[in-house]
Each structure stands twice: as C-alpha cells, then as structure tokens.
C-alpha cells in the first residue's frame, strides 16, 4: 500500500464554488470562501485505503514516508485497526505531508498539498516484502510512484494504480507505465478525463486488457473490463456529511472484494458500501463496521446477500 500519508485540514464551505468563480476570469482568479467548519484529521490516500482494508478483514502493509515527530500517534491508531506500519520510512527532520481541503455544499473540493516527508517516498522498498500479492500505487511523489510500479512488476504483484491528484504533475512516461502495468486503474470521472487529455486513452481503450473502476459520486460507479461493464449503484446513506476519502474506501472495497473471489458486480457494491460509511462521517478514517453489520447493510442496500468465496470475509 503506497501513496500519501497526511494530515488533512478540512474546511467546509456552505455555498457553491461555481457561484464565486467566473469562468471568463480564471486567468485572474482571486476568491475567498468563508468556511463554517475547520478540523484537522488523519488522512492520505495510502493510509485511507489501508484503514478500510483493515476494517474489511485484511492486514494491509503501509509503505509511505512520514515525519518523525508527528506520526507516532497516527501509527498507533492504524496498528490498532489492523494496519501493518512496518513498511513506513520515518524522516526525523521533516513533517508528515499536510493537505488543506475546502469542500462546498455540492461535494466539490479544492485542495492544496504540502508534501513534507512524502517527497522522500522513493525510500520505501517494496522488494523487502516478497509476499505481496497486490500493490496499490496511489498519489505520491512521482519518482516513488515510478519506482513502486516497477517493484510491483518485479514482485509479480497485481498493480492497483490510483494516480488521482498526481495526474497533472506526473511525467507522461510514468503515467503511461502505470496504466500499462495495472490490473485495476481507479479514479473518478474527472480524473479519467484528465488521463484521456494527457494520453489520448479513453476508458474504453484502457479496459481492453484490465479493469477500470470509475466513480461518479452519488450517481454510483462502473467497473469496466474486457468482459463488459458492471454498473454499480451508490449505496444509500443516512446523511451525506463529508465526501473526503470516499474514493479511497471504494478502492479498498473493490480490491478486498476481488481478493475474496467476488464478481465485478459484487466487488463494486462492496466498494460502494464502504464509501457510504465514509460519506456519513467527518473525515476519511472515522467510520467503523464489523463483519455482521457490513453484511446486514449490504443486504438492505442491494436486496441480496453478500456472496464471496472466502468464508468469514467482512
């Protein structure tokens, strides 16, 4: 599990960004948003995915670069949930990465990110862990992403490529390499438009030899593969509180579902339900569920029992 580990400063804006941004003036953008809620939380793509994987009964290995003075409590919290943090690289002279995220009432987000220790993520050596069957390469230092794509190949591990916020900043060769090597490519519909703009590769082109997981917020998601498209409904939520980290939980659910022998339809629904738990909370690591409650809610949400080959899963 590679990618960012960060502290997220979340700010909630009660209006709509679109009401404050004039499309014809984006070259002279100067806007301010009065936020009604501000909170510092534990986050980062790799940590968020690992957290939900642990709730789903997995024992994920976290491989990331973190600060020396501010990660101790964070590490303890992840370990308590079942995440193996032995793969982290600790950098005593810098802080853990920090994201500043402003969310509007429609769930749109504007994010500024300070990488901190993440800039040294190339120090994470996956080849020291020869038993890895899947490797998630999430948004991270671009050089580290390039390295970990190649290390996943060397290990014979299936690559889950989730470039997300790094798509605009990645060198073309690294982005294309990740797309070519991936078992699953994950992202939202906007991110896949960025991929198409950068590479010319559409979702249809990408799914010719791999799975492509596309999330569309409250409209649900799709799992594209050479065998066709599984259209996944969004799981009902009691109240949509905060979308931060929902996409990470979705990827965790899809990966855990496939690891447990689920079909694309079922794996997608597992991801959809995992994301629903996140949306109902403030923060990407505030949700909780156990095996029984997850199965019960799955049945209620989708009108069918959860069918996987692995006994006792989730």
Nearest C-alpha neighbor of 3 from the set 57, 59, 43: 43
Q: 8, 84, 242, 248: which is the annotated catalytic residue?
A: 248
- In eight-state DSSP terms, residue 14 is S
Give alpha helix (H) positions in 56-171. Answer: 72-81, 142-155
What residues have CB less than 8 Å from 204, skipping those under 6 apart?
A: 224
Question: Across the strands, what pairs with 193?
Answer: none
Euclidean distance between CA atoms 110 and 36, whole angstroms: 16
The structure tokens listed for 238 are 């009691």
Residue 232 in tokens: 């996944």
In the residue annotation, 248 being an active-site residue is answered as yes
Distance CA 149, CA 155 (A): 10
Q: 49 near 71, Cβ under 8 Å?
A: no
- Give which of 248, 282, 285, 246 is closest to 12, Cα–Cα: 282
Task: Determine contact, residues 29/52, Cβ cutoff 8 Å.
Answer: no
The angle at the Cα of 251, spanning 265 to 112, to the nearest 5 degrees, equals 145
CB neighbours of residue 265 within 10 Å: 16
CA separation for the pair 19, 21 (Å, rounded): 6
Q: How many other CB atoms sit within 10 Å of the CB of residue 297?
A: 17
Q: Which residues are catalytic?
A: 248
């Amino acid at each position: 599990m590679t990618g960012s580990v960060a502290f997220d400063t979340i700010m909630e804006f009660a209006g709509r960004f679109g009401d404050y941004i004039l499309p014809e003036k984006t070259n002279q953008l100067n806007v301010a948003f009065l936020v009604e809620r501000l909170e510092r939380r534990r986050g980062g793509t790799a940590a968020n995915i690992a957290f939900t994987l642990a709730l789903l009964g997995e024992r994920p290995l976290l491989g990331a670069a973190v600060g020396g003075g501010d990660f101790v409590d964070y590490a303890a919290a992840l370990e308590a949930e079942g995440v193996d943090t032995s793969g982290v690289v600790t950098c005593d002279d810098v802080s853990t990465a920090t994201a500043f995220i402003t969310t509007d009432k429609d769930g749109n987000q504007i994010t500024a990110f300070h990488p901190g220790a993440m800039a040294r993520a190339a120090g994470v050596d996956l080849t020291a862990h020869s038993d890895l069957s899947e490797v998630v390469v999430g948004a991270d230092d671009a050089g580290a992403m390039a390295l970990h794509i190649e290390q996943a190949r060397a290990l014979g591990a299936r690559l889950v490529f989730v470039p997300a916020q790094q798509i605009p900043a990645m060198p073309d060769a690294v982005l294309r390499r990740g797309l070519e090597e991936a078992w699953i490519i994950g992202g939202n519909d906007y991110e896949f438009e960025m991929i198409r703009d950068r590479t010319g590769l559409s979702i249809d082109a990408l799914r010719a030899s791999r799975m492509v997981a596309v999330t569309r917020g409250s409209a649900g998601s799709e799992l594209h593969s050479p065998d066709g498209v599984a259209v996944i409904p969004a799981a009902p939520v009691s109240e949509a509180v905060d979308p931060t980290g929902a996409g990470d939980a979705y990827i965790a659910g899809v990966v855990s579902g496939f690891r447990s022998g689920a079909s694309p339809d079922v794996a997608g629904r597992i991801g959809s339900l995992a994301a629903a738990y996140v949306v109902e909370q403030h923060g990407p690591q505030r949700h909780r569920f156990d095996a029984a409650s997850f199965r019960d809610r799955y049945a209620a949400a989708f009108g069918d029992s959860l069918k996987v080959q692995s006994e006792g899963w989730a």
